[in-house]
Amino acid sequence: MTWSLPIPRGDGRGHVPVARISALAAVAVGAFLVLSTQGGPRWRTLGPGVEFATLRGEPYCRSGSAEIAALRLDPAHARLRMIHFSLINAARPLNIVEWQRRTGALAVFNGGQFYPDWSYMGLLVCSGRVVSADPHPGFKAALVASPMLGAPDIRVLDLEKQPLDPHAPGWREVAQSFMLFDRSGAVRVRRTDHVANRTAVLEDRHGRVVVLTTEGGYTLADLAEWLRRSPLAAAQAMAMDGGYEAELCVRAAGFRYASFGRWDESAESAAPGAHTLLPCVIAVESE
C-alpha cells in the first residue's frame, strides 16, 4: 500500500514529530528496497525462448517468503497450451505435480478460476476447442496464444480495448481472468486487506510475456504496485487465481522448481505440498 505523508515541520519550539519522521523513514526504506533489491533478475535459460529467475517482493509481501518466481517467454520460441481435465479423460482434476508429469511440459501453472463443479469461470479455449463459451462479465483480461492466422504469438489482452468473440476468438488458446493494471498504468483491482499467494502474467514493453508466482502473501493491489515498479519493464498485467491454487511447477534439464500456494492467515505453518486439485492449467513448452 502506498502512503502519502506530510513533511514534518515541528511546532516552532524545537520539538521534532518523531512518529512522522519514523513513518517517512519506513516509506523511504521501502522505496530503497524496491530499487536496490530489484536491480535486475539473473535469468537462467531453460530452453529456447524460456528463462527463469527469482525476484524479491519487498516491501509489498505481507507474510511468508518474499521470493517471486518468474518465467519469461519469448513468443517467437515459447508455446502455451491451456488444458482442462475434462479433455484428458481424467476422473478428477490433477494436482500441479501430476499435471507436469501428465503433460511433460517444461512448466505448468494454474490456469484461472473455477466453480465448485470444476467448470471454468470465464472464456476458455484449449487447442482450438471452446471448452467454456461463457465469458465472465467482470473479468476484463485474457491470456492468449497461437493465433489462428499469422506467426506464433503470446499476449495479454485488455478486453475493454480488445474484446473477444467467444465463438470465434481468433486464438487457439484463451484463458480469461482479470486485469491488475493496464497500459496507462491504472490499477484495475480494489485495495483490500485480503492477503494470499498470487499468480500473475504480464506483457513487457519488449513484447515478451512473464509468468509470476509468489511464494508469500500479497494483496492484489500491492502485487500490481510491485509489478509496476519492478525491473520487469511491465506494460500491463493480469491475475490468474490466488490462494492455494497459485502454483507453479518447473522441470528442465538439470533444474527443478515448485511453488505450492500453501500460505494463508490461519495455516502459516502448514507443510508445503501439491495438495490442491486444479481443473485447468497452462503448460509452457519450448520449441
Does the pLDDT value for residue 64 go beyond 50? yes
Strand partners, 131: none
How confident is residue 287, by pLDDT bands cut at 50, 70 and 90?
Answer: confident
Does the pLDDT value for residue 217 go beyond 60? yes
Report the C-alpha gap between 251 and 14 in whole angstroms. Answer: 62
Q: Name residue, grid cell 514529530.
A: 17
Give the helix/strand (H/E) hosting 273: none
pLDDT digits (tens, 9 = 90+) for 148-205: 999 999 999 999 999 999 999 999 999 999 999 999 999 999 999 999 999 999 999 9
pLDDT digits (tens, 9 = 90+) for 101-159: 999 999 999 999 999 999 999 999 999 999 999 999 999 999 999 999 999 999 999 99
Report the C-alpha gap between 110 and 99 in whole angstroms. Answer: 10
Q: Name residue, grid cell 510475456.
A: 209
Q: What is the mean pLDDT of residues 247-259?
A: 95
Residues contacting 268, CB < 8 A, separation 6+: 63, 64
Query: What is the end-to-end Cα distance of the chain in Å, rounded?
Result: 40
How confident is residue 25, by pLDDT bands cut at 50, 70 and 90?
Answer: very low
Q: Is the CA virtual torsion 170, 204, 141, 52 positive or negative?
A: positive
Name the region of 75 (left: φ>0; alpha: ψ -120 to 50; beta: rest): alpha
The CA–CA distances, whole Å, from 252 to 53, 105, 213, 256 equal: 14, 9, 18, 6
Q: Name residue, grid cell 465448485.
A: 116
CB 55 within 8 A of CB 68: yes
Question: Would you state the pLDDT for residue 70?
Answer: 98
Q: Phi/psi of residue 140, each to 5°? A: -115, 30
Helices H / strands E in the chain, number of each: 3, 16
The CA–CA distances, whole Å, from 53 to 42, 43, 283 equal: 6, 5, 18
Convert 93-107 to b/e letters by CB count within 10 Å (16 or more is b). Answer: bbbbbbbbebbebbb
Residues contacting 140, CB < 8 A, separation 6+: 158, 159, 160, 178, 179, 188
Count other Cβ atoms within 10 Å, centred on residue 74.
16
Report the C-alpha gap between 110 and 68 in whole angstroms. Answer: 15
108: cell is 505448468
